[in-house]
Structure 1
Amino acid sequence: MSKVTLEGHILVPVQDLKQILEALPEHIELTQAEPGCITFHVQQSSRKPHRFDVYEVFIDREGFEYHQSRVKESRWGAITSNVIRHYQVSQES
């Protein structure tokens, strides 16, 4: 199996910040409970409150794809439709 890692950040529009902050704990909890999730961290920047650093590690491509699919259909997916994503995805061999 090859671990999949996603690293980067999102930039949240001002008008969406409150709603995203309210939904973030549930998003983290649901993701960490996924069977393929090894590590999942989302941290709001202390210097730039509209930036959230993201670090995810999944056991394999299947676990990563499951997460992506689940998020698209979730409340989190709906309320983050306006965020700007800056991600790099890598896979270990």
Structure 2
Amino acid sequence: MKKRLVSGEVSLSGQLVCLTQDQAGTVRDHLQLHLDLTRAEPGCLSFNVTRTSNPLVWQVEERFEHASAWEAHQERVTGSEWGHATAGIERRYSVIGL
């Protein structure tokens, strides 16, 4: 998801979709640290990952103050414990504000 970003607020909405209970367990095991670290990032306005009625699916909603903050978040996550642990889990995201 590498695009040249423009200035202004960036938001992402979508789902993290696990195929197995093992993947769902990985999300549960790593989610709180991921939430804490992301919410502490400069430019993060809101960041929520909540389980849906389907125990294999999480709703993801995030807002960043500007494109460079969102891009920095994406770069940090790629190399993070969360990024490595959840790399094989499907993401169905839409990004607005690019």
Normalised-by-shorter TM-score class = over 0.9
| CA drift at 1:13 | 2.8
Q: Distance in 2 between matches of 1:78 and 1:12?
A: 15
TM-score of the superposition, structure 2-length normalised? 0.88
1:72 is the counterpart of 2:78: yes
TM-score of the superposition, structure 1-length normalised? 0.92
* Ranges in structure 2 where 5+ consecutive residues have no aligned partner: 1-6
Identity across matched positions, percent: 33
Which structure 1 residue ranges, 4+ long, deviate > 4 Å from structure 2? none
1:29 is the counterpart of 2:36: yes
Residue identity opposite 2:34 in structure 1: H
1:50 is the counterpart of 2:56: yes
Q: Distance in 2 between matches of 1:19 and 1:6?
A: 22
1:41 is the counterpart of 2:48: yes
Q: Distance in 2 between matches of 1:80 and 1:25?
A: 13
Residue deviations 1:5-46, cap 9 Å, x none? 00001101312211220110000000000011000000011x
Q: How many residues align?
A: 91
Residue identity opposite 1:48 in structure 2: N
Task: Determine which of 9, 16, 24 is the counterpart of 1:10.
Answer: 16
Residue identity opposite 2:72 in structure 1: Y
1:84 is the counterpart of 2:86: no
| Equivalence for 2:4 | none
Task: Determine which of 62, 67, 74 is the counterpart of 1:61.
Answer: 67
* Ranges in structure 1 where 5+ consecutive residues have no aligned partner: none
Residue identity opposite 1:43 in structure 2: T
